[in-house]
Structure 1
Amino acid sequence: MSEASLPSFWQRLQAGWWYLYGLSLCQIGLRTVDRDVYRQAVRAFDRSLAAWPDLAIALYRRGLIRGRELGEYHAAIRDLDAATCIRPDWPDPYLQRGLFHRFNHHSRAAIAELTEYVRLAPPGFWRTEAERILAQIQAELE
């Protein structure tokens, strides 16, 4: 994104505030396991994105909540796709899309996403885990 297309200071401040509020609601949701709290978090991320549409981290977090806690597979994939369009070298959305595809029985899509994650991710636990899941999926397909 060029500096000319950056939102104003106040829009970024507003986006940041709503993003942090959404994160706090996610923490409450983890403790209470209340789907309504997660829906409130999605609305907070919506408000963050209204102020700063290209805030990839807000798209990513909204996608996580939609996919993991609310079971909204297609909406989650759309959010993660949008985050990847904004930041194509960021590995995390690829991992989450791969896991969502895996859990929704879309093995070939999971392979593509997890392979890209492994290509982009630094060494560590999640990269090793993605490699393990890839091997498992490929063995299941054979």
Structure 2
Amino acid sequence: MPYSIGTKQNPMVLKTPPLTSEYTMHVEEKDGKPVLVCTVGKTVLHYNIACIDDLHAMLKQHGDWMELGSADEQKPAKEGTVEAWGRAASNPVGGWYGLKKGLRGRFGMYIPPLMEALGLAEVTHEAKGNRMRAR
């Protein structure tokens, strides 16, 4: 993976799309595979690292702005959003990019700022209804 996302000792510090909260992201090995580790306060989420390239490819194909639609795992994701795609059976991994049962949601909150920091996407920073598109 050609991205520099950080380590547990030196994670990438990011802000949520509305710029209201700070969180960190780094790569760690889990079961012999690299995973994205997202730490929000005391909550630790894991995402399949393939989501970076897969989301970028999907956004390029989409060709326009797409609403983020962040939602917890227990809540339904709004159709046509990044969040809905991040849990759809039709995406390249056939379902959730989130790897921790019970904490698999919020894909649309925490992955877009990472994509923006890596130069792969543009993200809007409004109080609500943020969107992203591929760079």
Query: TM-score, with normalisation over the residues of structure 2?
Result: 0.24
Whichever of the two has the greater Rg, that structure is 1
Query: TM-score, with normalisation over the residues of structure 1?
Result: 0.24
